[in-house]
Structure 1
Amino acid sequence: MNFRKQHSIEPTPMQLAPLVDVLFLLVIFFAVTSHYAKNEQVMDISVPAADEKEEKDERFRNVGEIIINIKSGGEIIVNGQQLTEDELLVKLKNITSMYKDQAVILRGDRVSNFQYVINVLDACQKAGIYNIAFATQKPETEAPKN
């Protein structure tokens, strides 16, 4: 004897509040990451290609790396600011006084004069920075000809 009434279970409507929350989080995430990605993409610098490029997983752990862009005319750009060699030296000395093992990434344009890169390396050495990396890109491979 079963006295209970059989009720069909109605499907619950889709919850929109969690979906909207997730979408807002995604928008915020992409907005923040695109802001930080602009630091390397703002400059119109074409870095040289290298056959062997060391992929550095630890690069993403070094949040305080300084990216120094050297344009083809010798202009030095750090964090969107154009600096002279003397201003760069002062900035690097101030940073190394607080952080002894400061990392620097040099992004020199492939058509720039090599002397500009040497001048920036000299400023890094005078400031006591020896953890220097050069930014390169993978060479473009040509499609095989049939």
Structure 2
Amino acid sequence: MKLRDVRNRKTPPLMIIPMIDIMFFLLVFFMLSTMYMIDLKTIPVKLPQAKNAATDTTTTFAVTMKADGSIYLGDAQTDAEALALQAGLEQKMNKNFAVVIRAEKALEYGEVIKLVDKLKGAGVSRFGLATDGGK
């Protein structure tokens, strides 16, 4: 019976190119899948158009104002007083807290200002106004 000599063992070749291909594939897969995971639960409204709109996905509160005067936090209906109370509590816990207001195009400008004023009274200092990015 012939035993193999330990000194004459050949190491198997390490194929690095297929491993790099797989890593790039996984990277692209995870990048694309995380883009579809960002889902703001909001009420659909007709937003005004803007050519120079910027996208922000770090919003803590997405507030929607419909033309009939109803206010939604995410996809749940609320009123201005409850929203201000909740936003004030969140502002105390998070100094980078921001509110983005998605006001319907047909809503009067004064209603948006009333809500902003109420939120400012609750201590919120960072606001954004959502628009439909024009092309």
Query: Structure 1 length normalisation: TM-score?
Result: 0.62
User: Cα deviation per residue 1:32-70 (whole Å; 9 max; x = unaligned)?
Assistant: 754532x25x4120110123x2435xx34xx35311111
Residue 46 of structure 1 aligns with which residue?
46
Cα RMSD, aligned residues only: 3.3
| Distance in structure 2 (CA, Å) of the matches to 1:45 and 1:87 | 22
Instruction: Report deviation, 1:121.
Output: 0.4
Any gaps of 5 or more consecutive residues in structure 1? 1-18, 141-146
Matched residues, number:
119
Instruction: Report deviation, 1:100.
Output: 2.4
Percent identical among aligned pairs is: 18
Q: Is the 8 A contact 1:88 1:123 kept in 2?
A: no
SS at match of 1:43: coil
| Amino acid aligned to 2:54 | E
SS at match of 1:69: strand
Q: Is the 8 A contact 1:85 1:119 kept in 2?
A: no
Q: Is the 8 A contact 1:74 1:113 kept in 2?
A: no
Query: Structure 2 length normalisation: TM-score?
Result: 0.66
The answer to whether 1:55 aligns with 2:57 is no
| Distance in structure 2 (CA, Å) of the matches to 1:126 and 1:97 | 13
Any gaps of 5 or more consecutive residues in structure 2? 1-21
